[in-house]
Amino acid sequence: QNLQVRHEARREMLYLINYAQRGPARFVSHLEVLRALERALRRADLPLKLSQGFNPRPYLSFALPLPVGMSGRSELAVVELSDPLAPGEIAARVAGELPEGLVLKQVRPWPKDANLPGLVDAAAYRVRPGWKPEPSFSEANAAAADLRSRPHLFVEVRGEKRDIRPGLLELRVRQGREAPYLLLFLSAGSRRYVRPEWVLSALSELGGWQEDRPARVERLGLFACRGRRPVPLGALAPTLSLRPRY
């Protein structure tokens, strides 16, 4: 019986991998990131638990795919091992095997009954718009205040009008070194999912600005919203200074 218990325990060795995706890795697809992480895990000689069948694959689950062109400060994936290892040893083995632009930040144990993608309710973003003419801080702040005050906010998404206001949990303007930037806290759940570019579209229409160059978007972290405060899913996700409504 004790042998059976130990055998069952060995089957569930889950670890949360916290990594950054930046630089050239911003322009690769989610599938390419998945393959790159798989290769790094294999080269690190970890005791990976593999799927059955003709082409065995590691058990690897991502929190929320990062869109192409966006950088991520605190991206998350869960990997399953067939034998336990210390998180520090996993990190030491994997860090040097990742390609340019994927940077390992932390590895920690993950509970076997927690479904990572199902926990994601919201995401925080830092956005540097590429508008022309470039608005001042006061102009951008006024447009953001106007947008926040509206009970509905319709944008066109794939040919259909969608009200994204319920998923716009918070929007703030901050002054950067060269120009204002936006801090967004948006719903990432399946029912109220909102993309940063949809908010930019609504703001540019309010301010009368045109897109002159692609916006620079960085996803700061992913959050669960189970109580009165957002809870970061990655230990290195930023502490949220905003007060979102959800």
User: How far is residue 190's CA from residue 64's CA, in Å, rounded to a whole number?
Assistant: 11
Instruction: Check residue 12 and give its pLDDT.
Output: 55
On whether the pTM is more than 0.85, the answer is: yes
Tell me how far apart the alpha carbons of residues 103 and 73 are, in angstroms, rounded to a whole number.
9
Per-residue pLDDT of the chain in tens (246 residues, 90 and over written 9) = 433 334 344 455 999 999 999 999 999 999 999 999 999 999 999 999 988 878 888 899 999 999 999 999 999 999 999 999 999 999 999 999 999 999 999 999 998 888 999 999 999 999 999 999 999 999 999 999 999 999 999 998 888 899 999 999 999 999 998 899 999 999 997 778 999 999 999 999 999 999 999 999 999 999 998 766 888 887 544 444 444 444
Helices (H) and strands (E) counted in the chain, each on its own, are 6, 13
For residue 43, give every residue at least 6 positions away whose Cβ sits within 8 Å of its Cβ, in sequence order, or none. 97
**Given this model, what pLDDT does residue 35 score?**
95
Distance CA 70, CA 237 (A): 16
Q: How far apart are CA 142 and CA 149, in angstroms?
A: 11
Three-state DSSP class for residue 51 = coil
Instruction: Count CB atoms within 10 A of the CB of residue 162.
Output: 15
Nearest-angstrom CA–CA distance, 174 and 140: 9
